[in-house]
Amino acid sequence: MGTSESDGAGLPEGIELAWGLRERPGKGPKRALTLRGVVQAAVRVGSAEGLEAVSMGRVASELGVSPMALYRYVPSKNDLLTLMVDEVFGPPPPLPDAAEHGWRAALGAWMSAMRAALAQHPWILRVPITGPPTMPNNVRWMEAGLRAMRGMGLSGGERLAALMLLSTYVRSDVTLQHDLQTAWRAASTSEAEVLRGYGALLATLTDAGRFPELHALLDEGVFDGAVEDPDADFAFGRERLLDGMEALVARRSG
């Protein structure tokens, strides 16, 4: 791992590259590529063929260069994956101002915006998390979340813990929905068909005497068809988490 002549000396090379603290390549012939061009090519491969298809060789082929040429811009595949995630995640969109609209509206919008960003490129969720946010856009999302929590009266550590809780919920929801949709497409079926089949299976396997709560759901028709609002489950969980935050704030100020 090299060092930088900038204030970022000693940082991992991938972080230096992402924040513009290191210029690559330093020597050699006139550049035919740019760092962002390499990252965007990797994103195209990942989006079209899946994360498992992303390799230095495959990205080099996408760009029409040799694999060794890429190493002049990105030090390793792991760094490339990290840069890809930050590229497609992007910065957060404008959010409601907590001072004007209240922290709950701002934080709820932050969660929904994160969900939309992840759902657009669900392969992001397959890249392992190896530490706290360090990439520029990830840090921007953290800053936006902290800004949304102004006025809650929580300590810095509590605000960070709250962001971890809320972002974990968002990631879990997007992962589950993506996995289910992928399975349904592979089986050439639909959510409505799956739910009806599941309801019929439960009715066959169980009886109301031993499983009264399940049969109450069956009688209510919960499994009779697709959910009318695909975002309803996410919204329900988001609002219950925010209810908990609101109760904490009220207890602190009471």
10 Å CB burial of residue 99 (0-12, 13-18, 19+) is: exposed
Instruction: Among 68-72, 76-80, 143-147, name the most confident range.
Output: 143-147
- 129 Cβ contact partners less than 8 Å away, ≥ 6 residues apart: none
Once rounded to an integer, what is the mean pLDDT over residues 43-54?
Answer: 90
Interval 88-132: pLDDT, tens: 999 999 999 999 999 999 999 999 999 999 999 888 898 988 889
Q: What percent of the chain has pLDDT over 90?
A: 69
Closest alpha carbon to 208 in 199, 198, 219, 197: 219
Predicted pLDDT at 31? 57
Distance, in Å, from the CA atom of 120 to the CA atom of 232, rounded to the nearest integer, reads 18
Omega cis (within 30) before 25: yes
**Contact (Cβ atoms closer than 8 angstroms) between residue 126 and residue 85:** no
pTM reported for the whole predicted model: 0.86
Interval 184-221: pLDDT, tens: 999 999 888 999 999 999 999 999 999 999 999 999 99
DSSP 73: T
